[in-house]
């Protein structure tokens, strides 16, 4: 067969065409690999832990907290006080009991149950950094939230609020982001949205993360735990029924999302059916500092979680880097980090017992 000799110009033209086609194909492949999740028009980074390790619970809490029969929320305040929220009863009408993080000695009770002055009816702890000076509490039934001075409240036997916030109607979740601003999730006109608001409740900014899926009927599907970084102004939304965390900048509204499992791609099927025993539950508890996010991860169907598989504690930084995957034997959810001593306190699901892990960072 005779050799076919093409002119140089013809070869150059063909090579340019091939390059253009290659660039188009590369761009198409890149677009096909860019996956988005439940957050509207936000790509999701699939993260893997830099290190995976097992961890044993400390054995020094067996006789701790004798004043508490059943705890269901925990929080470290002012780097010195461990607060346990308990069920009130006739013998103990207090919502909260305080302990020293250094000695575990009992400090006292506060937050008397009731509708009178200085009393609380249905308080709920907003999770903040352990360095936060006051306990952040919201009471939807009273339509307000406040920063509680723990020691003053114990001494006066009445709730002493250093700062208060007015909650707008339709409040679902809340976290303070400064003395004068609050970040809230609310339902208004049958639609859910995040809002940065003044302490008096006036709207400052709107964040519509779930366009097309923000109706009230999706409120349970979109359950999450809100965290705040006082240094950067970021809010992290740790999702319950999706294996992902969304990072929101309150300054400019930028959002980025990190997932730890490809299950996040199934968001349409999750949203299109009722929650049931087969529904997967992922993150069940979280807390944070200015440097780290700690999140309890189950990845287990609601109807199959008997606690036998233990829990994973995921540790991220605020850039979304997945630093550690720590496996523990206990079935935990609610978390609180003692940054002064390096202990992560956790509530065991079902019986309200408190355990802790030595996680000096």
Per residue in 320-333, pLDDT (tens digit) is: 999 999 999 999 99
Share of the chain above pLDDT 70, in %: 90
Token duo for residue 322:
């997945």
Measured CA angle at 329 (ends 327, 331), to 5 deg:
100
Does the pLDDT of residue 30 top 80, yes or no? Answer: no
Does the pLDDT of residue 22 top 50, yes or no? Answer: no
Is the entire prediction scored with pTM above 0.75? Answer: yes
The burial class, CB within 10 Å (0-12 / 13-18 / 19+), for 265 is middle
Mean pLDDT of 153-177: 92
Q: Look over the chain and give the mean of its residue pLDDT values, rounded to a whole number.
A: 89
Name which residue leads in pLDDT, 89 or 152: 152
87-123 pLDDT per residue, tens: 998 888 999 999 999 999 999 999 999 988 889 999 9
pLDDT at 69: 85
Confidence band, pLDDT 50/70/90 cuts, at residue 19: very low
What torsion, rounded to 10 degrees, do the Cα atoms 324, 240, 101, 122 define? 170
pLDDT at 111: 95
Distance CA 32, CA 52 (A): 30
Mean pLDDT of 168-177: 91
Confidence band, pLDDT 50/70/90 cuts, at residue 361: low
Judged by average pLDDT, the poorest of 137-141, 154-158, 231-235, 264-268 is 137-141
E strand or H helix at 165? strand 161-166
Judged by average pLDDT, the poorest of 31-40, 124-133, 198-207 is 31-40
Does the pLDDT of residue 4 top 70, yes or no? Answer: no
Does the pLDDT of residue 11 top 60, yes or no? Answer: no
């Amino acid at each position: 067969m005779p050799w076919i000799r093409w002119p140089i110009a013809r070869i150059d033209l063909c090579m340019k065409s091939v390059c253009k086609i290659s660039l188009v194909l590369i761009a198409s492949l890149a677009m096909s690999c860019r996956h988005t999740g439940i957050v509207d028009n936000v790509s999701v980074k699939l993260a893997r832990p830099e290190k995976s390790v097992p961890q044993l619970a400390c054995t020094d809490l067996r006789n701790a907290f004798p004043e508490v029969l059943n705890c269901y929320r925990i929080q470290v305040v002012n780097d010195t006080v461990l607060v346990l929220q308990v069920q009130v009863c006739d013998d103990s009408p207090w919502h909260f009991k305080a302990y020293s993080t250094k000695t575990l000695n009992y400090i006292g009770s506060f937050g008397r149950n009731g509708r009178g002055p200085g009393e609380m009816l249905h308080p709920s702890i907003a999770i903040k950094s352990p360095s936060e000076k006051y306990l952040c509490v919201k009471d939807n039934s009273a339509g307000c939230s406040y920063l509680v001075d723990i020691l003053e409240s114990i001494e006066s036997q009445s709730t002493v609020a250093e700062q208060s916030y007015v909650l707008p109607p339709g409040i679902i979740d809340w976290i303070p982001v400064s003395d004068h601003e609050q970040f809230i999730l609310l339902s208004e006109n049958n639609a859910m949205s995040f809002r940065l608001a003044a302490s008096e409740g006036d709207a400052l900014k709107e964040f519509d993360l779930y366009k097309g899926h923000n109706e009230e009927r999706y409120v349970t599907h979109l359950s999450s735990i809100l965290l705040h970084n006082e240094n950067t102004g970021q809010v992290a939304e740790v999702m319950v029924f999706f294996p992902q965390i969304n990072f929101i900048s309150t300054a400019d509204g930028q959002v980025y999302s990190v997932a730890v499992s490809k299950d996040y791609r199934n968001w349409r099927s999750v949203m299109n059916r009722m929650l049931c025993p087969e529904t997967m539950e992922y993150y069940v508890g979280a807390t944070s500092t200015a440097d780290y996010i700690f999140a309890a991860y189950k990845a287990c169907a609601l109807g199959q979680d008997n606690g036998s598989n233990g829990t994973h504690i995921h540790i991220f930084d605020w850039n979304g880097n997945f630093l550690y995957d720590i496996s523990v034997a206990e079935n935990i959810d609610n978390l609180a980090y003692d940054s002064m001593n390096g202990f992560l306190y956790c509530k065991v699901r079902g019986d309200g017992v408190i355990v802790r892990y030595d996680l000096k960072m």
